[in-house]
């Protein structure tokens, strides 16, 4: 595997669907954090053919696992401390997500009341369906 520098403390997100690393980078707001990020695109994978990998050097607590799980819960999260993998975190679909996606129903109260947070709740865990907390509009496209 391609090695882009060794991380002392942070995390490596492995098994990202090829081409999705940039979208995850933005969703995790890594552009706003003062940390070192390596994006590896189209790495060879036995399991997936091609995959993306994100290496992030920063305080482990800064990672929002809920957002990550919502985007793709098949991503492997390796926690790095003192240069070694100390833990692998399992991603579980969050029961509720706030201000990550927006409700597209024009009649939803969130379209009218701009200051309301956009909250979606997990309506069907097996089918991974989220619905708006206010109007129950289904969220269709996964980013």
Q: Among residue numbers 74 through 103, which ones bind Zn ion (CB under 5 A)?
A: 103
Q: Which is nearer to Zn ion, 95 or 102 (CB)?
A: 102
CA distance 36 to 118: 30
What's the min distance (Å) between Cβ of 131 and Zn ion?
8
- Number of amino acids touching Zn ion (CB under 5 A): 7
Closest CA to 43 of 68, 16, 79: 16
The one among 11, 20, 69, 137 contacting Zn ion by CB under 5 A: 137
Q: Which is nearer to Zn ion, 79 or 116 (CB)?
A: 116
**Residue 111 engages Zn ion in binding (rule: CB under 5 A):** no
Instruction: Point out which residues bind Zn ion (CB under 5 A).
Output: 103, 105, 108, 132, 134-135, 137
């Amino acid at each position: 595997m391609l090695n882009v520098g060794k991380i002392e403390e942070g995390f490596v997100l492995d098994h990202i669907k090829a081409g999705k690393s940039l979208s995850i980078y933005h969703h995790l707001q890594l552009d706003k954090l003062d940390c070192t990020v390596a994006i590896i695109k189209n790495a060879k994978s036995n399991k997936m053919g091609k995959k993306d990998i994100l290496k992030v050097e920063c305080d482990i607590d800064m990672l929002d696992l809920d957002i990550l799980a919502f985007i793709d819960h098949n991503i492997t999260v390796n926690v790095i401390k003192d240069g070694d993998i100390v833990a692998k975190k399992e991603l579980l679909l969050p029961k509720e997500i706030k201000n990550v996606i927006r409700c597209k129903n024009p009649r939803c109260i969130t379209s009218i009341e701009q200051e309301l947070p956009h909250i979606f709740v997990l309506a069907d865990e097996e089918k991974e369906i989220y619905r708006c907390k206010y109007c129950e509009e289904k969220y269709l496209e996964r980013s």
